[in-house]
Amino acid sequence: DAMVIQNPRYQVTQFGKPVTLSCSQTLNHNVMYWYQQKSSQAPKLLFHYYDKDFNNEADTPDNFQSRRPNTSFCFLDIRSPGLGDAAMYLCATSRDPPGPRNQETQYFGPGTRLLVL
């Protein structure tokens, strides 16, 4: 089945130690998104790629970076994790980029839960 895969499902890191979360997709979608979701809150968009075009949300901290080496893979790098970065990180894809007239259904992976010690 075509899907969005996130590994690992749980990631433990130490305060200040760089960590990378991975996402892959078999849907061949043009757009890949990274969201941060804290407990009992809505997902918060960090950034998205439309093909190779990177789009950062205005309030995403510089501590968060992303790479998309090809259509299938996208990585979230947290350069110096703090305790406040502990959260669920969700990857999603869509065929079309976000926009007022696009019908862009998003397809989500199961998420990676990050714990910062």
Partner 1 sequence: GDSVTQMEGPVTLSEEAFLTINCTYTATGYPSLFWYVQYPGEGLQLLLKATKADDKGSNKGFEATYRKETTSFHLEKGSVQVSDSAVYFCALSATSGFGKGTKLSVIP
Q: Contact residues for partner 1 (CB under 8 A)?
A: 4, 6, 33, 40-45, 48, 57, 90, 92, 94, 98-111
Nearest Cα to Cα of residue 33 among 79, 77, 97: 97
- Return the number of the residue (19 or 93) whose C-beta is nearest partner 1: 93
- Return the number of the residue (43 or 81) whose C-beta is nearest partner 1: 43
- Return the number of the residue (74 or 92) whose C-beta is nearest partner 1: 92
Q: What are phi and psi of 83, to 5 degrees?
A: -60, -30
Minimum separation from the CB atom of position 77 to partner 1 (A): 20
- Return the number of the residue (5 or 73) whose C-beta is nearest partner 1: 5
* CB-neighbour burial class of residue 52 (10 A; exposed 0-12, middle 13-18, buried 19+): exposed
Minimum separation from the CB atom of position 16 to partner 1 (A): 28
Question: Cα separation of 52 and 35, whole Å?
Answer: 18
SS3 43: coil
Minimum separation from the CB atom of position 103 to partner 1 (A): 5
Place of tokens 């892959």: 24
